[in-house]
Structure 1
Amino acid sequence: MSSAIVPFVETEGDANFMSATSYYTGRNLMDRYQITSTTLCRWQQDPKLEFPEPVKLNGRNMWAAEDVHAWERKRATRRGAA
């Protein structure tokens, strides 16, 4: 099982603007958390979980790695406080 991050370079209007952002695919997230596609869909639909919103890249749902990592840190902090 691999939860490899997919690198992707975004360009925004200006040809001089480029930011390298890493993304997870749905399969990467399912492998990372050992969940099914149904669970991933449920996480997206449950506002209490505050799971990051995907972005469409080349017609595929992708999740920014920094958003996923921030979500993990936030959940770990909540569990530690409970």
Structure 2
Amino acid sequence: MKNPFKKEDHTGLIVGIGVGAAAGIALGWLFLTNAGAQYRRQISTKLKEGVSDAAAELIDKKTIFPKKAAKVATDAVIKD
């Protein structure tokens, strides 16, 4: 029989609700405000640059192509 006086641990639920609320507020700000739209464009640009750099580095390590040539190719594939 389960002890009715033993407290249950609900910290995971509370943390989950807090993280969900914060994510909802952040997404609402990003998609519903003009400042959020500008920030989304900045994030998109930085993400594309990071992916291009990572791909160029991988190509440089795994093939005979130098990083500069690989960077030109990855920039052409990942267009703005």
The answer to which structure has the higher helix fraction is: 2
Structure whose CA Rg is larger: 2
More relative contact order in 1 or in 2 (CA 8 Å, sep 6+)?
A: 1
TM-score range, shorter chain: under 0.3
| Structure 1 or 2: more strand by fraction | 1
